[in-house]
Structure 1
Amino acid sequence: MSSQTSELEKYQPLPISCSLQDIRSAIPKHCFVRSARRSLTYLLRDLVMAAMLFLLVRKWDKLAEHISGTVVVRWTGWAVYWWFQGLVFTGIWVLGHECGHGAFSPYPLLNDTLGYIIHSALWTPYFSWKISHHRHHTYHASMERDEVYVPKTRTDLGLPSLDHATALDYEEILGDTPLFTLFMLVRQQLLAFPAYLLLNVSGQQRYPRWTNHFLPNSVLFTRKQRTAVLLSNLGLFVTAFDR
């Protein structure tokens, strides 16, 4: 117990006045080393897991044909498959996300090539979203400049000012409950991200109504970025017609 205590005593929180450089200096240097080999290993692992899950559910499908209550057994298997395959595909999507950040490897061409393939296959416009997502991280939680999670005012939420608050703020009351958290998670995964890409929901409300990630002349992009937007659209087009 004493040895554990002495180890913990080595780690002291940084003062609130510390700079970004102070924070970076406190992180071990090996955490900033990008390894293409390691990242490719993770990608291969996830692809193998996805393939194995698909083969297993196909075998389950054939086995269900010889079991009474075929429909129930079959769809139970598919429901389990969708859950676990969703977890694996989320991991693959995150690897594509890291490609967009340049964290997958130290090679920009490899990052963009794999990120483009991965995100296009998973219905995400790679270059378009990479551009807006970069600005999101640059201006995170800024009321004026964040591109994704712009903090909402009470007026945006349809709530009265605090001086005249009579209506209940259900999100404030229920925000930490498991059922409400599950509801928000399902809403975000099924609806929120596509709505953001298509309709700029949760983005800057001062942007024009037609703002989205698929129009090259959208306010989200500069003239030099329009070709990248078209390339992102092409990736999704190929995905759609390759089914």
Structure 2
Amino acid sequence: MGAGGRMLDSSDQAKDILKRVPIDPPFSLSDLKKAIPAHCFERSVIRSSYYVVHDLIVTYVFYFLANTYIPLLPAPLAYIAWPVYWFCQASILTGLWVIGHECGHHAFSEYQWLDDTVGFILHSALFTPYFSWKYSHRILNNPPGRVFTLVFRLTLGFPLYLLTNVSGKKYERFANHFDPLSPIFTKRERIQVLLSDLGIL
């Protein structure tokens, strides 16, 4: 019922709702960034390294506990315990992957060489070609299609993306993240792409 006890039809309700929704926020992105304290944008090698070491320790602890105690469980419990372990371990390893990803955005430290070194090591250990991802990913960090891209990547998308560039920018010829001569990369980036390939072998 609307004001005064009368029924509103659906078109009236839609118009009423749209009147209350602001078209543009009363602030800009710049205003929002200014509202965040400056220390939140500072990159700290110590803090970033802490997260890497923390995640590596947790990864090892999960591995140790799983391989020490799950084999001692009776079969029905072991069948439940292994998937629980896989989920927990995958969560921590995803955190390490994200740290490597952020290295590609130069968010780990003030030093690009350190970001690239840490990112290369983490991504190589997780079978992701770091430099290939870094250079091709700069094109994908835009708002349209993020939800679809996320869902797809969480299933088959990530391997298909690396192998066939399935959800990436379209090129005139076949493109993948393991071929240094792929049209995804510039001539300057080819050596690092090859290095990424060698890193995951």
TM interval, shorter chain, is 0.7 to 0.9
In the alignment, does 2:51 pair up with 1:47?
A: no
Q: How does 1:144-163 map to 2 (within 5 A)?
A: none
Is this contact kept in 2: 1:98–1:104, CA < 8 A? Answer: yes
| Pairwise CA distance, 1:34 | 0.6
Code of the residue aligned with 2:160 in structure 1: it is A
Alpha-carbon distance between aligned partners in 2 of 1:191 and 1:216, rounded to the nearest angstrom? 23
Equivalent in the alignment of 1:214: 178
Mapped pair 1:109 → 2:113: yes
TM-score, with structure 2 as normaliser:
0.79
Q: Is the 8 A contact 2:161 2:176 kept in 1?
A: yes
Read off the aligned partner of 1:197 and give its amino acid letter. L
Partner of 1:15 in structure 2?
A: 26
- Name the structure 1 match of 2:160: 195
- C-alpha separation between the residues in 2 aligned to 1:61 and 1:32? 43
**How many angstroms does 1:209 deviate by?**
4.8
Among candidates 78, 84, 89, match of residue 85 of structure 1:
89
Please say if residues 139 and 169 of structure 2, whose CA atoms lie closer than 8 Å, have aligned partners that are also in contact: no
In the alignment, the residues of structure 1 paired with residue 163 and residue 110 of structure 2 have an alpha-carbon distance, to the nearest angstrom, of 32
Q: Distance in 2 between matches of 1:38 and 1:14?
A: 34
- 5+ residue gaps, structure 1: 1-12, 143-148, 152-174, 176-180, 238-243
Corresponding residue to 1:38 among 36, 47, 71:
47
Question: Which residues in structure 2 correspond to 1:99-138 (within 5 Å)?
Answer: 99-137=103-141
CA distance in 1, matches of 2:116, 2:167: 26
Cα shift at 1:129: 0.6
Question: Structure 1 length as normaliser, TM-score?
Answer: 0.66
Distance 1:21 1:188 in 2: 31
Give the AA of the match of 1:220.
Answer: I
Instruction: Name structure 2 gaps, 5 residues minimum.
Output: 1-23
Distance 1:188 1:98 in 2: 17
Q: Return the letter of the residue paired with 1:89.
A: L
The answer (yes or no) to whether the contact 2:97–2:126 under 8 Å persists in 1 is yes
**Among the aligned pairs, what percent are the same residue?**
46
Measure, in 2, the Cα distance between the counterparts of 1:76 and 1:60.
Answer: 13
Structure showing the higher helix proportion among its residues: 2
Aligned with 1:73 (options 71, 77, 99): 77
For 1:78 and 1:197, the matched residues in 2 are separated by 28
Find runs of 4+ consecutive structure 1 residues off by over 6 angstroms.
Answer: none
CA contact under 8 A between 1:199 and 1:209: conserved in structure 2? no
2:169 corresponds to 1:204: yes
